[in-house]
Amino acid sequence: MRRIGILLVMSAGILHPGCYSLKGISIDPKVKTFFVQNIENAAASAPPTLAVDFTERLKDKIRTETPLRLVNDSPDAEFSGRITDFRVVPVAPRPGETVSLNRLEIRLQLLYTVNVEGAEGSWPAERTFSHFAEFGADQDLLSIQDRLIRQIFDQLLEDIFNAAFNNW
């Protein structure tokens, strides 16, 4: 019985493709290409490769999840911005003024500009995006930093993608 229900839902999606979208991407049809300027690292305590890694991850996400083509000259849409904060904040103090939990936070500001006249989608101003990952105070940040950064980047990229292409 459950299989029949699943088949009915899938059939409805095939028969009425305009009613459902797996991604929900909303890109103006006039926009065909994109470019991501090198994200600047304005966070004093950030690892030196953080901005480069984020720039490449953003390019990859757009390239693999949209029909847009990456170009270097005269893009229809472009992203620019900077990482503004990279810090560890104690979040769970224990009796005796010790900390049991820390939070790695990354904050960035981005601008999304659509360069095609009459096309929609540009942000009127830079937007701030931030996310964090928590880790135990007994853990050495350097030993888990790469994993935490990947985890934070995953969420930041999803938030940026939704803001630019899903009108969220």
92-133 pLDDT, tens digit per residue, is 666 666 778 899 999 999 999 999 999 989 999 999 999 999
pLDDT at 134: 94
> pLDDT (tens digit, 9 = 90+) per residue, 136-150?
888 888 899 999 999
> pLDDT (tens digit, 9 = 90+) per residue, 14-46?
333 332 333 568 899 999 999 999 999 999 999
DSSP alpha helix (H) spans, 32-112: 50-65
Counted domains in the chain: 1
Number of Cβ within a 10 Å radius of residue 154: 14
Quick check: is 9 in a domain? no
Cα–Cα dist 79/33, whole Å: 12
Range of the domain at 95: 24-165
Look up residue 61 and give its amino acid: K
Quick check: is 17 in a domain? no
Tokens 């980047």, residue located: 153
Quick check: is 41 in a domain? yes
Cα–Cα dist 83/50, whole Å: 8
Mean pLDDT for all residues in the chain: 86
Quick check: is 54 in a domain? yes
Instruction: Give me the residues paired with residue 26 across strands.
Output: none
We report the CATH number of the domain holding residue 100 as 3.30.160.150
Q: What is the mean pLDDT of residues 1-22?
A: 40
3-class DSSP assignment, residue 7 = helix
Cα–Cα dist 165/146, whole Å: 28
Quick check: is 85 in a domain? yes
> pLDDT (tens digit, 9 = 90+) per residue, 56-87?
999 999 999 999 999 999 999 999 999 999 99
The burial of 28, by beta-carbon neighbours within 10 Å (0-12 exposed, 13-18 middle, 19 or more buried), is given as middle
Q: What is the pTM of this model?
A: 0.81
